[in-house]
Amino acid sequence: MIFRAAVILVLTLLGGCSASRYDVDYAERLKAYRHEADFACLAAEPTGFADDRLRLRLPRQFAAPVPDDADASRIKPPFVKDFPGFVAAHEAWLQIKNLRLSAGLSIGVWRGKQADVEKSILTQVVADEAFAAAKPRWEKVTVTDGNGEPAAWSRLVLEGKQVFESQVVGNPELKKWDGACQIWVLAAPRQDLGVVLAWRVPNDVAGMLDVPLAMLSTTVARTVQFPPPSAPAAGK
């Protein structure tokens, strides 16, 4: 009887260990699946900007860079012409019926103080009649990056009429449309630089984004990396 009881106990313990390992494996696979699902709307690999001082994963819809000879409203927000550290602009053309509208992402890599960058942007924004009455203010947003580390961003959320380029049957036109804009600013940890991400989307085509703008901007913010500066070559 004692031997039989011992055998049953060993089998029970082995079964418990097996079930425990299964639960851990399942939880890890589920976590990985959810992580990948969160970033499914983005490119699989990060893109480097400003001599690889900044990396981020671009949205699949915003993969196309804006041509240098495009209208200025497609390159930078018209109300932030002095865009801190501007390095690149990407866009998505979204279509309803025979109308195409451009939605944009402007990227800047700045050096200096975050407070000065925020002041410069806000001063330009409130000078625009579309936003002055709303008295926009920076808000703090903490997002968790891909490594699980928190990053404290400043975000400016704007709603109002803005200049966007549209195309009707291929004919370009500049016109003011009701639109959303989000401007995100972050200082790099332990480095004297930071990033500005400015999103603009016309309301009429906002529903055609893969995910809503608020989710898209947050997801991209989670992928931002500041690679450490390269070590100087030997003898220099």
- 165-208 pLDDT, tens digit each: 999 887 899 999 999 999 999 999 888 899 999 999 999 999 99
- In-domain check, residue 236: no
What pLDDT, in 10s, does the model give residues 18-28? 666 545 444 44
Residue 234 confidence (pLDDT): 55
Q: How confident is the model at residue 34 (pLDDT cuts 50, 70, 90)?
A: very low
- In-domain check, residue 84: yes
Mark whether 3 and 102 lie in a shared domain. Answer: no
Global confidence as pTM: 0.83
Percent pLDDT > 70 in the chain is 82
CATH number for the domain including 194?
3.40.1000
Range of the domain at 22: 1-38
Section 5-31 average pLDDT:
51
Q: How confident is the model at residue 218 (pLDDT cuts 50, 70, 90)?
A: very high
Tell me the DSSP string of the chain. Answer: -HHHHHHHHHHHHHHHHHHHHHHHHHHHHHHHHHHHHHTTTB-SS-EEETTTTEEEPPBGGG-EEPPTTS-HHHHS-TT--S-TTEEEEEEEEEEETTEEEEEEEEEEEEES-HHHHHHHHHHHHHTSHHHHTT----EEEEEE-TTS-EEEEEEEEEEEEEEEEEEETTEEEEEEEEEEEEEEEEEPTTSSEEEEEEEEEEGGGGGGSSS-HHHHHHHHHTT-B-PPPPPPPTT-
- In-domain check, residue 22: yes
How many domains does the structure of the chain reveal?
Answer: 2
Residue 229 confidence (pLDDT): 74
Mark whether 17 and 86 lie in a shared domain. Answer: no
Mark whether 21 and 73 lie in a shared domain. Answer: no
- In-domain check, residue 113: yes
- In-domain check, residue 227: no
